[in-house]
Amino acid sequence: MKPPVFDYRAPVSVEETQQALAEYQADGKLLAGGQSLVPMLNMRLARPAVLIDINRVTELAFVRADDGGLTIGALTRQQALLEHPTVQERWPLLAEATRHIGHRTIRNRGTVGGSLAHADPAAELPAVMLALDAVVTVSSTRGERQIPARDFVVDYLTTALEPTELLRSVWVPALPPRTGWAFQEVSRRHGDFALVAVAALVTLDAAGVCTDARLVLTGVGPTPVPVDLRQTLIGAAPSPAAVAAAAEAAQAAVDPPSDVHAPAEYRRHLARVLARRALTTAIERAGGTE
Amino acid sequence: MVEKRPVTVTVNGQVRQAEVEPRRTLADFLREDLNLPGTHLGCEHGVCGNCTVLLDGQSVRACLMFAVQADGHEILTVEGLVAPNGDLHPLQEAFWEHHALQCGFCTPAMLLTAYEYLQQHPVPGSDEEIREAIGGVLCRCTGYQNIVTAIRAAATKLTAAGPAPASRSVAD
């Protein structure tokens, strides 16, 4: 369980990082918090020729909020995000979901950008970023581009990032008033990977009519699964029957795998139950009664 | 053969230097190069938590970091909990008094994880919160109950002794 031989570069700026990525192309692999990559190295599942360690690129570790939204630098540690007062106050869904990532010791090292770029099928942050309609900024020596969260994770452990691109930050828009949120997860033990997790956001207008609702599931397939709620919740004041219908839609939207942790049937069951619980809580927090 | 790199770290208050291959994990560096075998290796892929050390006061898994990444940083291992005169740290005393170790393999990681938790929560929360705090370290003897009891007892001892940290190192 020792990592294979690799060469090591430790750039101290975004520019140096981009140059290193351009130099090594597919032979280079970015190392951020290392909480997923280093296990893969130790188990010899990954054998990059060169590790490009961005832990000294301090310009990538920041959390900035303004009226329009929240920008999170890629090297922001998950624990720092979780403890950030503005995140807790204005984007509590992010803080609540991040609390489910591993254990504190993992979150002390694990980064926001690393979690997104790794795109584990049971990871919390890719699902939550999808629910929040986030936009990822990536760059290389050829320039910068923005990728909406819905286009970012394309398959199992696969994102829209090119081998020479660096994930720099993720932007999360401000939430409208009267938006409720919830994150529900079931895992074998706290800190384990999610068997199924659900992120929900519900926005009501002054009359209590649902104007927007988002539901994203993770742990149910190769990528996070968004559920279309236009036929069930959006456009009317939420009722228990509408929530039940939305939860049925969530169950119908997933085609989860069976593995050593849980059979597909149990995951399908969890998809419905967690969707119902998350939507119910989100509606309450938005000021509705369900 | 990849060129070795110089690494300078402050471990338990002492500046230590060595030349290492980039693939040398922090855990192996501490154990093999610095002769500090108190940092235990269980799974070596970030599941068991037994290699936990504090990096600049924050718990990290030493099997998931490379020694080159620790260059310029400060590390506390279990060997650094003991006072210079040999007195056990109040956490260690509490673990002893409350039988919070059976085989002892997870003890260094439990102590350091508890140390971080008590730095942030001098008055610990519920037993459930303490269990969540130590959730990243597996004890295969399953002796968790006495570990929780010992952490609570140590907190009482530490707060009675005053706010000064009893350890000799680590930036808070």
- The helix or strand, by DSSP H or E, that contains position A271, with its residue range, turns out to be helix A264-285
Q: Is residue A109 part of a domain?
A: yes
pLDDT of residue A107: 98
DSSP string, A31-68: ESS-TTHHHHHHTTS---SEEEE-TT-GGG--EEE-SS
Judged by phi (left if over 0) then psi (alpha if -120 to 50, else beta), residue A235 lies in left
Scan for tokens 């409720």, then name that residue: A180
The reply to whether A137 and A200 lie within a common domain is no
Mean of the pLDDT values across residues A108-125?
97
B114 and B52 housed in the same domain: no
Q: In terms of CA atoms, which chain B residue is nearest residue A51?
A: B22
**Statement to judge: residues A81 and A165 lie in one domain:** yes
What confidence score (pLDDT) does residue B170 get? 43
Residue A122: phi and psi, rounded to 5, are -110, 10
Q: Which of B25, B49, B80 is the last residue of a domain?
A: B80
Question: How far is A129 from chain B, CA to nearest CA, in Å?
Answer: 25
Identify the closest residue of chain A to B54 by CA–CA distance: A105
Work out the minimum CA distance from B63 to partner chain A, whole angstroms: 8
**Are residues B113 and B68 both part of a single domain?**
no
| B66–A109 C-beta distance less than 8 A | no
Question: In terms of residue numbers, what domain contains B144?
Answer: 90-160
Give the distance between the most distant pair of CA atoms in chain B: 54
Residues A106, B61: C-beta atoms closer than 8 Å? yes
Residue type, A200: A
What CA–CA distance (Å, rounded) separates A215 from A73?
25
What's B68's DSSP letter? G
- Structural domain count, chain A: 3
Domain identity same for A151 and A248: no
Q: What are the pLDDT digits (tens) for A142-171? A: 999 999 999 999 999 999 999 999 999 999
Residues B57 and B104 in one domain: no
pLDDT digit string, tens, across residues A64-93: 999 999 999 999 999 999 999 999 999 999
Any idea which residue has 């990532």 for tokens? A101
Joined together, the tokens standing for residue A267 give 């995951």
Residues of chain A with C-beta less than 8 angstroms from the C-beta of B65 = 34, 38, 109
Best CA proximity match to B6, nearest among B16, B17, A11, B15: B17
Residues of B at the A interface, defined by Cβ within 8 angstroms: 1-2, 5, 21-23, 25, 28, 43-47, 49, 52, 55, 58-61, 63-66, 68-69, 113, 116, 132-133, 135-136
Q: How confident is the model at residue A35 (pLDDT cuts 50, 70, 90)?
A: very high
Interface mutation target, options A27, A51, A105, A190, chain B, most CBs of B under 10 Å: A105
CATH of the domain at A224: 3.30.390.50
A40: CATH: 3.30.43.10
Closest approach of chain B CAs to the CA of A53, in angstroms? 8
Chains A & B: contacts with CB separation below 8 Å: 87
Strands A7-9 and A50-53: parallel
Flag whether B59 is in a domain. yes
**Shortest alpha-carbon distance between residue A162 and chain B (Å):** 25
CB contacts, 8 Å: B55 with chain A: 108
Mean pLDDT of A81-106: 97
Whether A235 is in a domain gets the answer yes
Domains in chain B, number: 2
- The answer to whether residue B52 sits within a structural domain is yes
Whether residue A212 is predicted with pLDDT greater than 70 in this model: the reply is: yes
A177–chain B Cβ distance below 8 A for any pair: no
Strand partners, A218: A197
Give yes or no for A192 touching B (CB within 8 A). Answer: no
Partner-chain contact A105 B60, CB within 8 Å: yes
Closest CA to A172 of A137, A144, A223, A124: A137
Residue B85 lies in a domain: no
Whether B57 maps to a domain, the answer reads yes
Rounded mean pLDDT, A125-141: 98
Pick the residue of B26, B48, B69, B71 with the most A CBs within 10 A to test the interface with A by mutation: B69
Which residue among A142, A173, A204 closes a domain?
A: A173
Q: Is the pLDDT of residue B162 over 80?
A: no
In this predicted complex, what is the ipTM? 0.93
- Between chains, do A7 and B2 touch, taking CB under 8 Å as contact? yes
At residue A191, the pLDDT reads: 84
Boundary-marking domain end, from A138, A156, A173:
A173
Compute the nearest-CA separation of A107 from chain B (Å). Answer: 9
Tell me the C-alpha distance between B28 and B37, whole Å.
Answer: 9
Question: Which residues, in sequence order, are bridge partners of residue A69?
Answer: A173
- Structure confidence at residue A289 (pLDDT): 60
Same domain, B16 and B42: yes
Find the domain containing A109 and state its range. Answer: 63-173
Are B54 and B75 in a shared domain? yes
pLDDT digits (tens, 9 = 90+) for B84-143: 999 999 999 999 999 999 999 999 999 999 999 999 999 999 999 999 999 999 999 989
Read off the CATH number of the domain in which B106 is found.
1.10.150.120
For B47-59, what is each residue's pLDDT tens digit? 999 999 999 999 9
Q: Is the predicted pLDDT of residue B171 greater than 70, yes or no?
A: no
The predicted pLDDT at position B131 comes to: 96
CA dist., res. B25 & res. B14, Å (int): 20
DSSP calls for A91-119 = -HHHHHHHTTSS-HHHHHH-BHHHHHHH-
Nearest CA in chain B to A3: B23
Q: What is the CATH number of the domain that holds B53?
A: 3.10.20.30
